[in-house]
């Protein structure tokens, strides 16, 4: 299993990893063209293809930064049998969010980050067996 260095990954790499490993979406090229006449070009942004056949442009889904996108990750984990727990802590040397993903038949996985969206994403990836 590959190991990922979260700190050196780009936002796009992080979001693609989450889309594939947690959300179980596939990453691909946009299936449509835009523009008219000679100006018709393909979309340059990759898209995430969901299981229901719909797709979402990469530029519209930032789960490491946007709490509503991170909450989609929480909902997916709940569908997969995980029980997320999110806590805020403030100590003398550090403050942030701790997210734990518990499961009846799996070891709990957790992550700590300064932001809730990033902690959610890291805990979800670890719960799915991704080494980040």
Q: What is the CATH number of the domain that holds 87?
A: 3.30.2120.10
The 3-state secondary structure of the chain, one letter per residue:
CCECCHHHCCHHHHHHHHHHHCCCCEEECCCCEECCHHHCEECCCCEEECCCCCEEEHHHCCCCCCHHHHHHHHHHHHHCCCEEEEEEEECCCCEEEEEEEECCCCCCEEEEECCHHHHHHHHHHHHCCCEC
Residue 106 lies in a domain: yes
Residue 132 lies in a domain: no
Our count of domains for the chain comes to 1
The pTM (predicted TM-score) of the whole model is 0.87
Indicate whether 63 pLDDT > 90: yes
Q: Domain span at residue 26?
A: 6-127
Per-residue pLDDT tens over the stretch 84-111: 999 999 987 889 999 999 998 889 999 9
Residue 1 lies in a domain: no
Per-residue pLDDT tens over the stretch 5-52: 999 999 999 999 999 999 999 998 877 655 555 544 456 678 899 999
Residue 82 lies in a domain: yes
Residue 12 lies in a domain: yes
């Amino acid at each position: 299993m590959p190991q990922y260095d979260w700190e050196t990954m780009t936002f796009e790499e992080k979001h693609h990893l989450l889309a594939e490993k947690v959300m179980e979406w596939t990453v691909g090229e946009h299936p449509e063209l835009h523009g008219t006449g000679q100006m018709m070009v393909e979309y340059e942004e990759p898209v995430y293809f969901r299981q229901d056949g719909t797709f979402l442009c990469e530029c519209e889904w930032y789960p490491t930064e946007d709490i509503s996108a991170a909450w989609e990750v929480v909902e997916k984990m709940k569908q997969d049998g995980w029980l997320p727990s999110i806590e805020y802590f403030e100590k003398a040397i550090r403050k942030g969010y701790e997210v734990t993903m518990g499961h009846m038949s799996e070891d709990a996985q957790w992550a700590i980050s300064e932001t809730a969206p990033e902690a959610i994403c890291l805990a979800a990836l670890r719960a799915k067996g991704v080494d980040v």
